[in-house]
């Protein structure tokens, strides 16, 4: 996990989450409530930038602003940020070139690309340039927030974890077994992957589009809320016969899995 | 008059005229060579004949001189020398004094040379002196006497002259006719070109319905006009498509925009205040999202129609992928009473844009769910991936009301929502997006009768095919079964 190393270096000295590796569900959950990210928003439209800054602040994060590519690159290189939000079309230095030079310097800060260009090709180009996620304008703020928070967490060594635990729900990634309160729950392969993704982001909001992209690897508009049916089927399996609900619907945003109120 | 001159000048300056003038010049040159050779040959032949006659006569006169002596010769020459005959004679003594003959002197043209040649002399014809052409040779009579015999070839010259005149006249007439023909031809072409130019001007001025007239004779100008007309048809089609789209955008985007505005206003006016504002804002966001969806679909179609998306082409198992997408929809379909039946051929690998094909399959399944009724015994939606006519194909069939054969073409157009579907939610872009995806993969979309219901077949180009299914192989059955 070389990513986590560089991330720790960048963010050293900041009042942040505890060291990686000792994560369990309870800690993660507590952490997510107090979790503060430093975000750099590189966006030439000042109104949008200010809106993002204000909204991120409301969600407990701090955001710096840069209004052109060069200033953005300078700030991103010097400052230690958890996530960069980069508009694709920027004056002086376009977003993709900015990301490329950042990556060439060895900076691996997660980048969310914002773009008015939303076709499959543009996405591929954005990710190829070194972006970690791609969001098309116009977007819902809840979608942006969920993605930024997911990216901020990405530096954690999730891949090494072999067990996800939320309350009494346990998912064992080695045996592909899911149990709740010790009781074995039988899941379809897709339901398993859905749960795995939700638990990987336990405590965070996960949007329908994120599920579609990560669980199904689809980057197209499914027209109807097909995801909801899948989630409700999963919910029926893991929550139905239990008093405590773990899988919550977050209105206007998506879903979250956590032990406690949504 | 000036108008006519102008037109002639215009015709003369055309390529067509230049080419026909060149052809006339070439023809005249060839004709001049042929006629020249013929004339020269004939002239030679006649001259040789005259010379042969003269040589024969010289022999006779020589023998007469031998037999009868000088006196006999003088007698014969005198007898032969008729004043206006064609035979010409001149006999002189060593001093150069003329003894007999009808020539007055040794022609100066022959004076220098010892042999024969062509000369001119004056002859009295009908009391007038005329210059005639003649040919003569000297006759060798030994020392002392000098005899020259000749023939008048004025007739031959006259013949040659008349031949020359005829030919020159003929060439003149030919050139004039040829050039006039060239002018006429170029006038014809210029007229056709003027028609084409005039039509294109009118089209440029905005009258797209104009077409270039064709003569119907099927020449190359006609085929040019025909392809230009086809191009114009295509442009007009595109233009009317564009107009239709903007009309539809006006309707399908403005209507929800208006609704969005109305709901915001209604919320503002609501006396309940806070709570009503919240509801109103939520409704506004919902409606904005719908608009964004329509807008995205519209942009995507425009993007697809503009050209290829090379970056994101990948190779994948079409059957497995279609089953995968169907699986995404299966729970939602079951929810509203449909059975999603999946029928996939194994090992059908294609190269294409996976996400876009996924979008197309999603749209088709979504349409099938939307436009047919679930919860009935025959509520089956069949998704099939197979090789059709050697091309990778995906079909989605339902048992809903279907689309009339007459309406099928129309259904593929942007924003077209057949009357029956007007009330359903959606952008009206689903099928045209599928058609655009098909075109991007050099394929096509077919709407067929599913007996009953509608079956939409998305055919990709055979160039997209990477590997075909192995039918005799060890395909494991039931992969696709849900």
Specify the higher pLDDT residue, A5 or A192.
Answer: A192
Q: Kindly report which listed range (A121-125, B379-383, B469-473) carries the lowest average pLDDT score.
A: B469-473
Average pLDDT over residues B140-149: 77
A121: chain B residues, CB-CB within 8 Å: 309-312
B331 touches A at CB < 8 Å: yes
- Stretch among A256-260, B383-387, B391-395 having the lowest mean pLDDT: A256-260
B408 pLDDT more than 80: no
Q: Are residues A144 and A196 in the same domain?
A: no
- Which residue is closest to A141 within chain B, CA to CA? B285
Comparing A246-250, B116-120, B174-178, B420-424, which segment has the lowest mean pLDDT? B420-424
Closest alpha carbon within chain B to A251 = B282
Residue B309: its chain A contacts at CB < 8 A?
Answer: 119-121
Say if B325 is an interface residue toward chain A (CB within 8 Å). Answer: yes
Identify the pLDDT of residue B258.
85
Specify if A145 maps to a domain.
yes
Provide the greatest CA pair distance for chain B: 162
Lowest mean pLDDT: which of A90-99, B38-47, B330-339, B350-359? B38-47
CA atoms within 13 A on the CB side of B263: 16
Count of domains forming chain A: 2
Pick A124's closest partner by Cβ from B312, B329, B426.
Answer: B312
Per residue in A184-215, pLDDT (tens digit) is 999 988 999 999 999 988 888 999 999 998 89
> Which pLDDT belongs to residue A31?
41
Structure-model confidence comparison of residues B8 and B131, the more confident one:
B131
Q: Which residues contact B337 (CB under 8 A, 6 or more apart)?
A: B373, B374, B375, B376, B379
Instruction: State residue B231's pLDDT score.
Output: 87
Q: What is the share, in percent, of chain B residues with pLDDT greater than 90?
A: 4
A140, A222, A233 member nearest B331 (Cβ): A233
Q: Do A221 and B297 touch (CB under 8 A)?
A: yes
pLDDT for A192: 93
Q: Of how many residues is chain B composed?
A: 482
Give the containing element (helix H, strand E) for B224. Answer: helix B220-269
Q: Per the domain annotation, does A262 fall within a domain?
A: no
Residues A235 and A173 in one domain: yes
Q: Look at the block and give the residue holding tokens 């090992």.
A: B347
Instruction: Indicate whether this model's pTM tops 0.80.
Output: no
Does B286 contact A at CB distance below 8 Å? no
Residues A42 and A125 in one domain: yes
Is a pLDDT exceeding 70 seen at residue A107? yes
Is residue A97 domain-shared with residue A167, that is, in the same domain? no
Domain boundary among A131, A153, A175: A153
- Asked if B300 and A190 come within 8 Å (Cβ–Cβ), the reply is no
Note whether A252 contacts B282, CB cutoff 8 Å. yes
pLDDT of residue B480: 40
What CATH number should be reported for the domain whose range is B220-306? 1.10.287
Chain A contact present for B469, CB below 8 A: no
CB-based contact, B299 to chain A, within 8 Å: yes
Which residues of A sit within 8 Å Cβ distance of B?
118-121, 123-125, 136, 138, 140, 190, 216, 218-226, 228-230, 233, 252
User: What mean pLDDT is predicted for residues B153-167?
Assistant: 84
- Regarding whether A107 and A25 lie in a shared domain, the answer is yes
Same fold, B15-163 and B313-467: no
Q: What is the pLDDT of residue A8?
A: 35
Residue B395 pLDDT > 80, yes or no? yes
Is the pLDDT score of B319 beyond 70?
Answer: yes
Cβ-based contacts under 8 A for chains A and B:
70
**What residues make up the domain containing A73?**
2-153
Tell me the fold of B15-163. Beta-Lactamase (3.30.450)
Q: Which residue of A has its CA nearest to B426?
A: A223
B146/B93 Cα distance (integer angstroms)? 6
Residue B104 has pLDDT above 90, yes or no: no
Query: How confident is the model at residue A52, as a pLDDT?
Result: 92
For residue A72, the domain's CATH number is: 3.40.50.2300
Provide the chain B residues 181-210 that lie in CB contact (below 8 A) with chain A. none
Which of A78-82, A204-208, B22-26, B471-475 has the weakest average pLDDT?
B471-475
Q: B40-56 pLDDT, tens per residue?
A: 888 888 888 888 888 88
Percentage with pLDDT > 70 across chain B: 90
Cβ A120–B324 below 8 Å, yes or no?
no
Contacts of A34 (CB under 8 A, 6+ apart): A60
- pLDDT at position A9 over 50: no
Chain B hits for A229, CB-CB cut-off 8 Å, are 331-332, 335
The beta strands (E) that lie in B35-188 are given as 87-92, 98-100, 117-125, 128-139, 146-152
> CB distance from B482 to chain A under 8 Å?
no
Instruction: Note the pLDDT of residue B46.
Output: 82
- Let me know whether A83 and A183 are in one domain: no
* HSE of A222, CA atoms in CB hemisphere, 13 A: 24
Residue A6 shares a structural domain with residue A118: yes
Domain match, A181 and A53 both: no
pLDDT beyond 90 at A33: no
Q: What is the 3-state secondary structure (H, E, C) of chain A?
A: CHHHHHHHHHHCCCCCCCCCCCCCHHHHHHHHHHCCCEEEEECCCHHHHHHHHHHHHHCCCEEEEECCHHHHHHHHHHCCCCEEEEECCCCCCCHHHHHHHHHHCCCCCCEEEEECCCCHHHHHHHHHCCCCEEEECCCCHHHHHHHHHHHHHCCCCHHHCCEEEECCEEEECCCCEEEECCEEECCCHHHHHHHHHHHHCCCCCEEHHHHHHHHCCCCCCCCCCHHHHHHHHHHHHHCCCCCCCCEEEECCCEEEECCCCC
Per residue in B272-287, pLDDT tens?
878 888 888 888 888 8
Looking at the structure, do residues A117 and A168 belong to the same domain, yes or no? no
pLDDT in tens, B189-206: 888 888 888 888 888 887
Q: Which residue has the tokens 């055919």?
A: B459
Task: Return the CATH number of B313-467, one of 3.40.50.970, 1.25.40.10, 3.30.565.10, 3.30.110.70.
Answer: 3.30.565.10
pLDDT of residue B428: 67
């Amino acid at each position: 996990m070389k990513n986590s190393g560089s991330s720790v270096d960048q963010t050293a000295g900041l009042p942040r989450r505890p060291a990686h590796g000792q994560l369990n569900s309870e800690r993660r959950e507590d952490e997510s409530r107090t979790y503060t990210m430093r975000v750099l928003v590189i966006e030439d439209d000042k109104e949008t930038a200010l809106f993002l800054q204000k909204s991120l602040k409301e969600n407990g994060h701090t955001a710096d602003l840069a209004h052109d590519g060069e200033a953005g690159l300078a700030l991103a290189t010097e400052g230690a940020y958890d996530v960069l939000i980069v508009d694709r079309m920027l004056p002086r230095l376009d977003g993709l070139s900015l990301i490329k030079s950042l990556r060439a310097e060895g900076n691996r800060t997660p980048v969310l690309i914002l773009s008015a260009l939303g076709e499959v090709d543009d996405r591929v180009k954005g990710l190829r340039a070194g972006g970690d996620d791609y969001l098309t304008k116009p977007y819902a703020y809840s979608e942006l927030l969920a993605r930024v928070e997911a990216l901020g967490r990405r530096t954690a060594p999730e891949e090494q974890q072999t067990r996800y635990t939320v309350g009494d729900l346990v998912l064992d990634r080695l045996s592909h077994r899911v149990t709740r309160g010790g009781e074995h729950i039988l899941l379809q392969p897709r339901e398993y992957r859905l749960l795995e993704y939700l638990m990987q982001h336990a405590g965070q909001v996960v949007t329908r589009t994120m599920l579609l992209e990560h669980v199904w690897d689809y980057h197209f508009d499914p027209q109807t809320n097909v995801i909801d049916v899948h989630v409700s089927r999963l919910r029926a399996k893991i929550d139905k016969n239990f008093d405590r609900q773990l899988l919550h619907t977050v209105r206007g945003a998506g879903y979250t899995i956590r032990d406690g109120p949504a | 008059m000036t108008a006519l001159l102008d037109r002639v000048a215009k015709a003369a300056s055309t390529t067509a005229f230049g080419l026909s003038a060149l052809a006339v010049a070439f023809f005249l040159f060839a004709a001049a060579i042929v006629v020249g050779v013929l004339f020269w040959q004939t002239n030679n032949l006649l001259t040789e004949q005259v010379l042969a006659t003269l040589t024969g006569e010289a022999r006779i006169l020589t023998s007469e001189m031998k037999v009868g002596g000088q006196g006999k010769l003088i007698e014969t020459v005198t007898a032969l020398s008729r004043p206006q005959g064609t035979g010409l004679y001149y006999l002189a003594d060593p001093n150069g004094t003329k003894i007999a003959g009808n020539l007055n002197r040794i022609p100066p043209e022959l004076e220098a040379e010892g042999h024969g040649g062509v000369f001119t002399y004056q002859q009295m014809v009908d009391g007038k002196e005329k210059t005639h052409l003649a040919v003569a040779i000297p006759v060798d009579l030994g020392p002392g006497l000098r005899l020259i015999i000749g023939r008048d070839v004025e007739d031959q010259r006259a013949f040659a002259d008349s031949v020359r005149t005829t030919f020159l006249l003929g060439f003149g007439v030919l050139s004039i006719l040829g050039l006039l023909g060239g002018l006429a031809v170029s006038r014809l072409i210029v007229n056709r070109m003027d028609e084409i130019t005039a039509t294109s001007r009118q089209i440029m001025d905005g009258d797209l319905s104009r077409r270039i007239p064709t003569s119907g004779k099927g020449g190359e100008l006609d085929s040019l006009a025909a392809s230009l007309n086809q191009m114009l048809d295509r442009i007009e089609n595109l233009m009317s498509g564009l107009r239709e789209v903007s009309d539809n955008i006006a309707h399908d985007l403005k209507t929800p925009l208006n609704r969005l505005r109305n709901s915001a206003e209604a919320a503002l006016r609501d006396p309940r205040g806070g709570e009503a504002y919240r509801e109103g804002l939520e409704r506004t966001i919902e409606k904005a999202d719908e608009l964004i969806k329509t807008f995205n679909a519209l942009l995507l179609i425009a993007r697809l129609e503009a050209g290829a998306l090379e970056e994101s082409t990948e190779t994948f198992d079409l059957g497995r992928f279609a089953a995968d997408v169907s699986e995404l929809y299966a729970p939602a379909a079951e929810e509203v009473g449909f059975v999603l039946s999946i029928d996939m051929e194994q090992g059908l690998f294609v190269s294409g844009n996976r996400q876009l094909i996924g979008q197309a399959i999603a749209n088709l399944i979504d349409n099938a769910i939307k436009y047919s009724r679930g919860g009935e015994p025959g509520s089956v939606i069949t998704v099939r991936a197979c090789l059709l006519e050697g091309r990778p194909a995906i079909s989605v069939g339902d048992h809903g009301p279907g689309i009339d054969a007459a309406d099928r073409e129309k259904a593929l157009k942007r924003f077209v929502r057949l009357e029956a579907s007007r009330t359903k939610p959606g952008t009206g872009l689903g099928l045209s997006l599928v058609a655009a995806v098909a075109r991007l993969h050099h394929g096509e979309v077919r709407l067929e009768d599913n007996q009953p219901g509608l079956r939409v077949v998305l055919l990709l180009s055979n160039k997209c095919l990477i590997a075909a299914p192995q039918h005799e192989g060890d395909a494991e059955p039931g992969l696709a079964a849900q």
